[in-house]
Amino acid sequence: MKNKKSRRGFLLDSIKGLGAAALGSQLFKTEARAENKESRSLASVVIAQPKIRFVIHGGAGTINRKDMSAEREKEYHAALTEALMTGYGVLKKGGPSLDAVEAAIRFMEDSPLFNAGKGAVFTSAGTNELDSSIMEGKMLKAGAVASLKHIKNPISLARMVMERSKHVMMVGEGAEAFAKEQGVELVPQSYFYVESRWKALQREKAEEEKNKTPQDKKQEKDHGDPIDHKYGTVGAVALDQDGNLAAGTSTGGISNKKWGRVGDSPIIGAGTYANNRTCGISATGDGEYFIRSVVAHDLSALMEYKGLSVKAAADAVIEKVVKLGGNGGLIALDKDGNIAQSFSTSGMYRARVGSDGQPVIEIYKD
Ligand code: ASP
């Protein structure tokens, strides 16, 4: 009997493993028949195939084909692919959604292409101040950090706040003191220097001097270098083989931001949210509008209380942002593995692995 049990356990494990690693897509029922007589007596085993899904974004904004060089497009494509496969690889090995989200975001934080970590935009004072948050959908645990000046990978510090402190959000010097205590490596501000970001700040300041209205500024950006647009925040949402959702977001905020300004990215319920009853979300765009619209939680609530699909809910919340006067986008992934990528801008750097297990990388709206 003991022998039979272990054989059955092994069989179940192998099927589960196979499903997660190789098939990793649709929920299906399969009959597993063992080969020898002894095991056959266990009859058929019905297994619910776990779904794994992964979706990331690298910011929404004015991203026009005509302004993008072939070389630059290739760089984004490669970086998005690598970030996507880094996170998806974690899920494929059976790892938790939180690990997948953190791994992909760390990769993008280390790239100068995105407005997060290394590539963070400059504040009006010429500093870099980083925000990030992470949340898991099972216990609704969350961690967030804001106004960091010396943390290479804010997403990992957000996760530490969630897992190693009794708090949800820490900011500025306090957050960095916590980081030191946790043995996190601090970097000098010079680490975040990226020439194109610096030049973008100088241009914004010159425009400001000329006393232009925000609307004029927006129109001018339509013709700028795509890397200099004011967005570029990164985010990820994962569904793991145990059915747990996690979401995370990381950003340098908005170029030329002032006086300790903090956007939606580290605000749970605005820029990031995850709930196993509904979905995981990471947003990007005009943070002030995303905070006022409580975008991420609103999307989840539309699903939970009104029964909307993830796509319908995603479109609805972006529409609300636009009505208020803001712009941006989001990625959302529901508990059943459906993915939504909704945005009001001309582009959003985005990538996903859906039900067919294939990576899809996209930049422009059409
Ligand atoms: N939402 C971010 C912020 O307002 C910026 C972005 O997504 O690009 O800080």
Task: Specify the pLDDT at position 36.
Answer: 44
Instruction: Give 97 Cα–ligand 1 centroid separation in angstroms.
Output: 23
| Nearest CA-CA partner of 130 in 140, 114, 359 | 114
Whether pLDDT at 344 is above 70: yes
Task: Specify the pLDDT at position 50.
Answer: 65
Residue owning the nearest CA to atom 9 of ligand 1: 253
Residue 45 has phi, psi (to 5 degrees) of -115, 130
Task: Specify the pLDDT at position 45.
Answer: 55
Least confident range of 45-54, 272-281, 312-321:
45-54
Task: Specify the pLDDT at position 25.
Answer: 35
285 lines ligand 1 (CB under 6 A): yes
Helices (H), the chain: 2-18, 37-40, 70-92, 97-109, 154-164, 172-181, 195-209, 214-221, 287-292, 295-306, 310-324
284 lines ligand 1 (CB under 6 A): yes
Q: Across all residues in the chain, what is the average pLDDT?
A: 86
Return d(Cα 271, Cα 134) in angstroms, integer: 10
Q: What is the mean pLDDT of residues 87-109?
A: 98
Instruction: Give 289 Cα–ligand 1 centroid separation in angstroms.
Output: 10
Q: Which atom of ligand 1 is nearest to the CA of 290?
A: 1
Least confident range of 40-54, 59-73, 324-338, 341-355:
40-54
pTM over 0.75: yes
265 lines ligand 1 (CB under 6 A): yes
For domain 53-364, give the fold.
Answer: Glutamine Phosphoribosylpyrophosphate, subunit 1, domain 1 (3.60.20)
DSSP sequence for 270-288: TTEEE-TTSEEEEEEE-HH
248 lines ligand 1 (CB under 6 A): no
Does residue 233 carry a catalytic annotation?
Answer: yes
Percentage of the chain lying above the pLDDT 90 cut = 76
Domain chopping of the chain, boundaries: 1-48, 53-364
Whether pLDDT at 10 is above 50: no
Whether pLDDT at 141 is above 90: yes
| Nearest CA-CA partner of 87 in 109, 71, 66, 68 | 109
Distances (CA, A) of 293 to 132, 186, 324: 19, 34, 8
Q: Residues 32-61: pLDDT tens digits?
A: 333 444 444 444 555 555 689 999 999 998
Return d(Cα 211, Cα 208) in angstroms, integer: 5
Residue owning the nearest CA to atom 8 of ligand 1: 231
Least confident range of 14-18, 42-46, 51-55, 271-275:
14-18
Where does the pLDDT of residue 185 fall: very low under 50, low under 70, confident under 90, or very high at 90 and above?
Answer: confident
Instruction: Give 352 Cα–ligand 1 centroid separation in angstroms.
Output: 21
CB atoms within 10 A of CB 181: 11
- Three-state SS at 63: coil
Which of 108, 264, 291 has most ligand 1 atoms within 8 Å of its beta carbon, as the pocket-test mutant?
Answer: 264
Helix axes 295-306, 310-324, angle to 10 degrees: 140
Least confident range of 14-23, 179-188, 274-283, 287-296:
14-23
Return d(Cα 203, Cα 223) in angstroms, integer: 13
Instruction: Give 263 Cα–ligand 1 centroid separation in angstroms.
Output: 6
Q: Residues 219-233: pLDDT tens digits?
A: 444 334 444 456 689
Whether pLDDT at 366 is above 90: no
